[in-house]
Amino acid sequence: MTNCLSRRSLIGAASAGAALALGGAPALAESRPWRALFGPDPGIAWLTYNENPYGPSPRAIQAMAAAASKGCYYADDASERLRAMVAKRFGLTPGHAVIGNGSTEVLGAAALEWSRSGPIVCPELFFDEPLQVAARHGGRLLRVPLRPDMNIDLDAMAAAAATNKASMVYLCNPNNPTAMLVDPQALRALSSKLPKETVLLVDEAYNELTDQPGSNSMIDLVKAGGNVIVSRTFSKIYGLAGLRIGYALSTPANAERIQGNIMTVDLGSAALAAAIASLNDEAFMAFSKNRILEGRGLILDAARKAGLDVLPSQANFVFVRVPDANAVKARMADRGIIIRGAYGKWKQWSRVSTGKIEDVRRYAAALPAAVRT
């Protein structure tokens, strides 16, 4: 692939020295089974973290290489440039945007801020790591059970918000780990039902991978001045997970509140350079999405052929119902295929990320034997 060739040309000359400085490739492999410091070991099918292995884009790699030579300087001007670019992309002003060290930082900052004025209503099963900082500082999380079909129960969330005078309703769309998309019109209706002091936060980390990203997003509510926060990340479709950069969009007043809880003083030069180069790279986004959808289709087909139930996915991972998720994880690992195990009480649900096409094919071939009881 073009981006792989570009990556080799940029880092090939330094690889030998870097390996020695870090203890050598064998030492890296021994210290972390299945995974070296900067990606999986050769021969490992890495289908566990919802990453996009086809990134960074050639443009991003070139930009990072140029920025590295000026790594002695703080990059605050670049932060402002990216903030302005993000705002312009969505028809907003820079005052509507907050840039953070991954979307996790802006999500955690928002949760910490709003948790001071009331509980946060959230689904029982979702990517809840950003809320943990609020919980550790005394924030109260009210978890609402999923519907029997594993979708988020918006009516129950609205009722919980009203009954408990919630400061925030927080969800991911599409949800992680289920990969299911909440109907955007139902989500807009939820926003209109919430008390005016309750903010709706929607983590849209996987939005660009949905069938209709524009209509599935709640950014239109932000543009209309609603009490809504939308977060996005460069980790998924842009393939910049390891560079840790994301953003939130909301009213200027809400953005200021989020910014007040951001811990990062200056983002890294390489991350900013990559994000600036990637944001409007429509060709790479299309390439990534095509590869991800191809992998997603392979996983869905393999699960169905194996006689397994699978949830409809609008992300770069699939939630597959298996006899025992942890057992399947272990059997796959024996074959050099790394996937997620069970999530809490959901012992029969296995999350599989798309990864490289050849790795997804390995998973598909191994699945019938891995689920055999």
Please write the tens of the pLDDT for every residue from 293-306: 999 999 999 999 99
Domains of the chain: 19-48+282-370 (3.90.1150.10), 62-278 (3.40.640.10)
Q: Which pair of tokens denotes residue 193?
A: 């039902």
* CA geometry: angle 131, 134, 138, nearest 5 deg: 135
Contact 244, 237 (CB under 8 A): no
Query: Residue 330 and residue 337: Cα distance in Å, rounded?
Result: 9
pLDDT digit string, tens, across residues 194-218: 999 999 999 999 999 999 999 999 9
pLDDT tier at 32, thresholds 50, 70, 90: low
pLDDT at 108 over 60: yes
Task: Give the separation between CA 93 and CA 353, rounded to whole angstroms.
Answer: 35
Q: Are 228 and 97 in contact (CB under 8 A)?
A: no
Q: How far is CA 134 from CA 77, 84, 140, 229, 347, in A?
A: 30, 28, 8, 17, 27
pLDDT of 296-333, one tens digit each?
999 999 999 999 999 999 999 999 999 999 999 999 99
Strands 141-144 and 35-36: unpaired
The answer on pLDDT for 145 being more than 70 is yes
Q: Is the peptide bond before 56 cis (omega within 30 degrees of 0)?
A: yes
For residue 38, give both structure tokens: 């900067």
How confident is the model at residue 19, as a pLDDT?
36
- What was the pLDDT predicted at 7? 33
pLDDT digits 0-9 by tens, 232-255: 999 999 999 999 999 999 999 999
At 5, is the pLDDT very low, low, confident or very high (cuts 50, 70, 90)? very low
pLDDT, residue 35, reads 73
Count of C-beta atoms within a 10 Å radius of residue 261: 20
Interval 113-131: pLDDT, tens = 999 999 999 999 999 999 9
* Residue whose C-alpha is closest to residue 261's, from 52, 107, 34, 47: 107
Bridge partner residues of 306 (DSSP): none
User: Three-state secondary structure along 43-75?
Assistant: CCEECCCCCCCCCCCHHHHHHHHHHHCCCCCCC
In the block, residue with structure tokens 């005078």: 165
